[in-house]
Chain A
Amino acid sequence: MNPYILATLLFGLGLGTTITFASSHWLLAWMGLEINTLAILPLMARHHHPRAVEATTKYFLTQATAAATILFASTTNAWLTGQWDILQMAHPIPTNMVLLSLALKIGLAPMHSWLPEVLQGLDLTTGLILSTWQKLAPFALLLQIQPNTSILIFLGLTSTLVGGWGGLNQTQLRKILAYSSIAHLGWMLLILQFAPSLTLLALLMYIIMTSSLFLIFKLNQATNINTLATSWAKSPMLASIAPLLLLSLGGLPPLSGFMPKWLILQELTKQDLPLAATFAALTALLSLYFYLRLSYTMALTLSPNSPTGTTPWRLPHLQTTMPMTIFTALSLFMLPLTPATIVLLTF
């Protein structure tokens, strides 16, 4: 791809998210989402591989459906209440319609099935953009609407359940990452109405953790569990860090992935929802199972291999490792900073 075109498309990605962030009018918010979708399509199909093109087509169809539903819902809202303001969306029908279409856009549980398929067809860098940057604009809208609480809790719980359940039988890393994304987004949606700052916190933590995992997989050029099993020979340091990172995604205590889960469970309990909290915590166990399996193949066991397979050349890496380092450090050691993070994110 021509670098000028690449720059234009990346600028389009930024522009779309910025417009959605800055808008208080539904039409502009919709425009931002559409720009986002448009700008990422050529990046997804960059290599013109049939799988990538299939993934692009699926992504386009899903996002176009969701965007059309958002437009329909906001027009209905304007028709019923006479204004286009995002924060003043009062009528329940368009509000819930917008909630469902945004759920389709970010891949929440009953509307999730496109996400693993699409992510599996992309290379890891584009997958990283798709599962981090592309979630920001829909979440900015989700934080501004006031939908029905039971629908939110239903979406959240099914997402955590399906995200854990669907990942169990996968051997492809990108599909596992997609299911992990579904599960984490479920946690965010669960707390959306009770403590929006915790949603933001969980989103930021998820972005940090998943970015470092994507970058590590990219450095190892690993797309399935088999490749992961021999990656310790390529870079032993990463092989010792990655299990901790996976456990941080699973939400185990001394690591910073525990922070959002801990605070969300605490808030849910305070809001008199012990059943939802228990169910969410139990479904996190399902996710933890496949994270554990990844860490097991990566570092907790030595799979039999030939001498040439275990002693490859360790050449200096050509790709920049600084972002990976920062994200990894953040996703391992941020738990002691919990009070400061909460203060920063409370609005």
Chain B
Amino acid sequence: MTYIVFLFLVGLVLGLIAVASNPSPYFAALGLVVVAGMGCGVLVGHGGSFLSLVLFLIYLGGMLVVFAYSAALAAEPYPETWGSRPVAFYMMVYLLGVVLVGWALWGGWYEGSWVSSDEMFEFSVVRGDVGGVAVMYSSGGGLLVIGAWVLLLTLFVVLELTRGLSRGALRAV
């Protein structure tokens, strides 16, 4: 398990570097997808399998829209990625930064990875994340109502901001 978590962590760092090293939007969005997937993997390694499933489905659903938009808006014939020189330079700098910070904060790690902390789950009926969901639905009911209301409010906000077609300032140029 430590080995798989190690792989996930490496993928997470690489994906974040792919986002931060400023390539074309296609590859930046792809990097975000990789980061999301790898982060969910790390979450599974720490016992949050249900949480990671929810995160994966919902976050990637949003990412799909972002990816479609960025691909549609930035219609580049020759998208830049790690092959081009400035992007590769940024990538090396970020990688170096991550290695340096990792070297400074190495202390609590085990075999170059995070210890998988999901122990003794064989002895409990429900796992931590499922239990949390149950608590949220039982004692956090009011909060859920407020959350739903705020989502509705957000819908109105977005509709109100994007209305106005050609008069509005938010429009396709």
Q: Which residues of A contact B (CB under 8 A)?
A: 1, 5, 8-9, 12, 15, 19, 28, 31, 34-35, 38-39, 41-42, 45, 48-50, 52-54, 56
Instruction: Out of B143, B153, B169, B170, name the residue touching A38 (CB < 8 Å).
Output: B153
* B146 pairs with A19, CB closer than 8 A: yes
Give Cα A49 to B156, complex, Å.
19
Q: What is the CA–CA distance of A35 and B150 in the complex, to the nearest angstrom?
A: 7
B156-A5 in contact (CB<8A):
yes
For A1, the closest partner residue in chain B by CB is B160
Q: Does B86 contact A (CB under 8 A)?
A: no
Q: Quick check: B161 and A42 within 8 Å, CB to CB?
A: yes
Q: Are A53 and B146 in contact (CB under 8 A)?
A: no
- List, in ascending order, chain A residues with CB within 8 A of B120's CB: none
Interface size class of B (residues with CB under 8 A): 10 to 19
Total contacts A to B, CB within 8 angstroms? 47
26 chain-A/chain-B pairs, Cβ below 8 angstroms: A5-B160, A9-B153, A9-B156, A9-B157, A12-B150, A19-B146, A31-B146, A38-B150, A38-B153, A38-B157, A39-B153, A39-B157, A41-B157, A42-B156, A42-B157, A42-B160, A42-B161, A45-B160, A45-B169, A48-B164, A48-B168, A49-B169, A50-B169, A52-B169, A53-B169, A54-B169
A48 vs B161: C-alpha distance when bound (angstroms): 8
Q: Assess whether B146 is in contact with A45, with CB atoms less than 8 Å apart.
A: no
Tell me, in angstroms, the Cα distance from A52 to B161 when the chains sit together: 11
Most buried by A among B156, B164, B167, B168: B156
| Chain A residues, Cβ within 8 Å of B2 | none
Question: B143 to chain A: which residues have CB within 8 Å?
Answer: 28
- Write out the residue numbers on chain A whose beta carbons fall within 8 Å of the beta carbon of B149: 15
Complex contacts, B160 vs chain A, CB 8 Å: 1, 5, 9, 42, 45
A330 to chain B, nearest CB (A): 33
In Å, the complex CA distance between A181 and B173 comes to: 36
Q: Which of B146, B153, B161 contacts A8 (CB 8 A)?
A: B153
Q: Within 8 Å CB of B154, what residues of A?
A: 38
Q: Is the CB of A35 within 8 A of B169?
A: no
Q: Give complex CA distance A28, B147 in Å.
A: 10
What chain A residues lie within 8 Å of B168 (beta carbons)? 48, 53
B residues less than 8 Å from A8 (CB atoms): 153, 156
Residues 132-173 of chain B: 1 if any A CB is under 8 Å from the residue's CB, otherwise 0? Answer: 000000000001001001100110110011001001111000
B145: shortest Cβ distance to chain A, in Å? 12
Q: Which 3 A-B pairs rank lowest in CB-CB distance, beginning with the nearest?
A: A53-B169, A42-B160, A48-B168
Q: Is the CB of B153 within 8 A of A35?
A: yes
- A38 and B161 CA atoms in complex are apart in Å by 11
Contact A41 B161 (CB under 8 A): yes
